[in-house]
Structure 1
Amino acid sequence: MNNLQSIGPTLVLARDLKLVGNDARALRRGLVAGHQARLLRGVYVSAEVWNTADDDARYLMRITAAVLTRKSYAVVSHLSAARIWGLPIFGRWPSDVHLTALGGRTRESKNGIRWHHEVLSEGDVVEIDGMLVTSRLRTMVDLARTTSFASAVASLDSGLCQKFTSDNGMPDSDISTEELSDAIRRLGSRRGCRPAKIAADFADGASGSAGESVSRAHIFLSGMPAPRLQVVYARVDGGKDIVDFTWDKRHHVRSLPLLGEFDGKMKYTRGRYMNGRTIEEVVWDEKVRQDRLCAPGRAMVRWLWGEASRPAELRALLIEAGLKPER
C-alpha cells in the first residue's frame, strides 16, 4: 500500500460513523477485543491490516490518519514528508506525525502530532494524492537540519539521485547539490542550518542505497579515508561489475586497492533485486562476483547493517581489511 488514496478506505473514522447514525463505541469495543488498532484519536484500522503491515506501511497509515482528522490546512513535513516522498532515514520511523502549521497559528504537539512552526514559501509546498506536503527540496533541507548526520546523508543522497521517483511513482525534477546548498543558505542562521550545510556538502547522489550512505557517513565519522563510489570494473566476458566503495592502494597497508561492499537484506529478499532467482542462486552469483573482483592485486571487504550502523565496528572491520586510518 504505497499510495495514499489506497490507504484512506482502509481507515475508519469515528466521526464518519456518527454522521451516518452508527455507534462509534463499536470501534472501542473492537479495540479492547483485539479486532481493531487505533492509529490516532478517533481513527482505527482492522487489526489484520495493522498486524500484517511493515514499518513503512504503518507510518504511512498514521500520516493519512493525521491528515484526515485535521480541521484546518496543515502541511506534512520533516520525517513524515520523507515517508511520503520515499526518502530513506537511518532508523525506524517515529510514532508521531510531523505537520507544519499554516496561517501563523501556534499549536501544541500532542496526541500523536508533532507540530512545526516554519515559514513556508509557495514553492515549498506541493500536493501529493490530495495532501499538502513540503517539496522534495524543502523536505531534504528540513531533514538535514533536524536529523543525525548519518540519517541526513541517507536522505540527501537519495534525494540528489538522478531521475528521482517518489514513493507513489511520481517523477520529480533533479535537484543539484548547488540547489540544496542555496536552499540551506537562504535560511540564514536558523536552528540546524550549520549541521545541514555540513551534511549537504558531504551528500552524493551517486550512492547506491541508504545502507551505503549510512556506511559512508560512518566511515567519515570514524576517521577513515573517503572511498570512491560506484567504481566500474571490466569483466573478461565484456560485462562490468560496479562496486559500492573503492579505496586507492595508497590507503592500504599492503598497497592494494581495497574494494568495499555493503550487503543489505533487500538484495536477498526483494523481487526487483533477485530478478526471478532463488536466494541460493543470488548467494552463488554473489560468490562468483566476489571471486572475480578479488583478482590478484586487489583486496575486498564486505559488511552488513550491523557494522554499517555502528562506526566503531565498521572502523575495526576496515582496519582488519588493511585500510589505514586518517586520524
Structure 2
Amino acid sequence: MTNSAAHLFPLAATIAGATPNSGLRARLKKVAPRPLPHTDGRTQHLQRMRAVAGGRSDDLVFVGGSAAAVWGLPMLGAWPPTVEALAGRHERSRQNGAVSWRRSDIGDDDLEAVGPWFVTTLARTLCDLAVSAPFVAAVSALDHGLKPTVTADGGRVYCGVEREELIDLLRRRRNDRGRTRALAAIGFADPAAASSGESLSRVQAYRLGFPPPLLHPRVDDERGAAEHPHFEWQTAYGEFDGVDRYARALPDGARPTADVIWNERRREDRLRGRGKAVARWTWEDAWNPPRLRSILLSVGVRPVRRAAFSPDAFGEWVMSA
C-alpha cells in the first residue's frame, strides 16, 4: 500500500500508539454476539465482528482468524470464539469481553481496507495463520490463499498471493517464534487442492508416510472423455467425499437424488477402467489417521517412509521436523 495506514484507517494511529480509553473498553465488555441463525462458522464469526464493531464509536483493525473470515479463507476446525483485533503498541495480548486483542509488529503496508472492514493484508493474514494455527489449518488456508484469486466478504474478488511473497514476509518478521513450522506449511501448501477436505487428506497422508499424490490429474477414458480425480498415486485414485460434493449439484436443502449418486458411481467405474483401484473416504476417515491408512493400504498405496507424528503446542499430532 502506498498510502499510510494512519490516513486510510482513522483508528490505526490510535491503536498503534495509545491505549484506548476505559469507556470504550467498558462498552466492549457489554457487547455479546447477537443471536445467530443456523449458519456456517465463517458467517457466524462475521456476525460477531459486526456486533462488536457496532458497539464502538471508532473502527477496529481485525487480525488473525477475523481477518481470515473477511478474506474468505477456510478455517479447518472451529472459528475463533472471540473477535480478534489489533492491540495498542504498548498493550499486551489479552481477551476483553467479546474481543481478543492481539499484539503484533504490524506496519502500514500490512493493512488494507476490504469493503467496510480494516484488516491485515491477505499475505500478512496467511503468514499469521502459518505461525499461530495448527499445521493442518494453516495448510488449508494457504492452499486457498495461493490460488490466483480469492473472494472476500461482500463478493469482491482479489488477487491471491505468491509463495515467495509469504516466505519473504515471514523472514522479515521481528519475532521468529513459529517461523520453522510456518515455512514448512508454506512449502507444503498447494493451490491445486480444491477443498479443505483435500488439504486435510493430503496432510494426513504425508504424516502417515505415503508418497505425495498428484492433485486433480486429467484422466481420459476409452471414449476420450476427461475425468479429474482428486488424487492419483501409482496404484490408485483417491476421492474425498465431502457433503458439499453432492450438494453443489442440488437446490438448497435438497438431498442427493438417485441420479446424482448413479452418475458418481458411473464416474468411479470409468476411473477403474483405466486400470487403477479407487479409494474413497469421508471427513471422519480423514480425521482418523489409522482409518485413512487402512483405506490407502487396501488399494495398494504403500508408505515410502516412517510415519512422522509428534505432538505440537496445540496438542495436535503433526509432522516431525
Give the TM-score normalised by structure 2.
0.79
The aligned residue for residue 23 of structure 2 is: none
| AA at the equivalent of 1:41 | K
SS in 2 for 1:315: helix
Secondary structure at 2:154 match in 1: coil
Partner residue in 2 for 1:195: 181
CA contact under 8 A between 1:73 and 1:102: conserved in structure 2? no
Deviations 1:163-203 (A, max 9, x none): 32224221112311111111111115522211100100101
Q: Secondary structure at the match of 1:290?
A: helix
Task: Using the TM superposition, give the Cα deviation of residue 236 of structure 1 relative to its aligned residue in structure 2, in angstroms.
Answer: 3.8
> In 2, Cα distance between the equivalents of 1:166 and 1:246?
31
Does 1:179 pair with 2:165? yes
Q: Deviations over 1:109-167 (max 9, x none)?
A: 12121111101122211112222111111110001001111111100000001232224
Q: Map 1:39-58; keep pairs closer than 5 Å.
A: 41-43=30-32, 45=34, 47=35, 50-58=36-44
1:319 maps to: 297
Residue 227 of structure 1 corresponds to which residue in structure 2? 213
Structure 2 partner of 1:97: 83
CA displacement 1:28-74 (0-9 Å, x = unmatched) = xxxxxxxxxxx9734563x5xx2433333221111112222245543
Task: Give the letter aligned to residue 234 of structure 1.
Answer: D
Secondary structure at the counterpart of residue 52 of structure 1: coil
Q: Out of 221-230 and 183-192, give the one that drifted further.
A: 183-192
Mapped partners of 2:105, 2:58: distance in 1: 17
In structure 1, how many angstroms separate the alpha carbons of the residues matched to 2:242 and 2:224?
27
Q: 1:297 aligns with which of 263, 270, 275?
A: 275
Q: Is the 8 A contact 1:63 1:80 kept in 2?
A: yes
SS across alignment from 2:68 = helix
Do 1:144 and 1:199's aligned partners in 2 also have CA atoms closer than 8 Å?
yes
After TM superposition, list the pairs within 5 Å mapping 1:76-115 onto structure 2. 76-106=62-92, 108-115=94-101
Question: Alignment partner of 1:205: what SS?
Answer: coil
Map 1:7-156 to 2 at 5 A: 41-43=30-32, 45=34, 47=35, 50-106=36-92, 108-156=94-142
RMSD: 2.4
2:248 is aligned, of 267, 270, 273, to 270
Shift of 1:291: 0.2
Q: 1:269 to 1:170 in 2, by over 3 A?
A: same
Query: What CA distance in whole angstroms lies between the structure 2 residues aligned with 1:216 and 1:99?
Result: 32
Deviations 1:194-236 (A, max 9, x none): 1100100101111111110011011111221111111111134
Residues 122 and 44 from structure 1, CA distance in 2 versus in 1: closer, same or farther, beyond 3 angstroms? closer
Paired residue secondary structure (1:164):
strand
2:287 corresponds, among 296, 303, 309, to 309
> Structure 1's 310 and 133: CA in aligned 2 closer, same or farther, altered over 3 A?
same
User: 3-state SS of the aligned residue for 2:80?
Assistant: coil
Secondary structure at the counterpart of residue 231 of structure 2: strand
Give the TM-score normalised by the residue count of structure 1: 0.78
Pair 149,44 (structure 1): closer, same or farther in 2 beyond 3 Å = closer
Change (3 A) 1:273 1:246: farther
In the alignment, which residue of structure 2 is the partner of 1:288? 266
Shift in alpha-carbon separation, 1:319–1:68, aligned structure 2, 3 A: same
Does the 8 A contact of 2:123 with 2:161 survive in 1? yes
Q: RCO higher in 1 or 2 (8 Å CA, sep ≥ 6)? A: 2
> 2:192 corresponds to which residue?
206
Number of paired residues? 277
* Secondary structure class of the residue paired with 1:213: helix
Change (3 A) 1:107 1:69: farther
C-alpha separation in 2, matches of 1:302 and 1:278: 17
Aligned mate of 1:239, from 194, 200, 225:
225
Instruction: Point out where structure 2 has 5 or more consecutive residues left out of the alignment.
Output: 1-27, 307-321
**Cα pair distance change 1:63/1:71, threshold 3 Å:** same
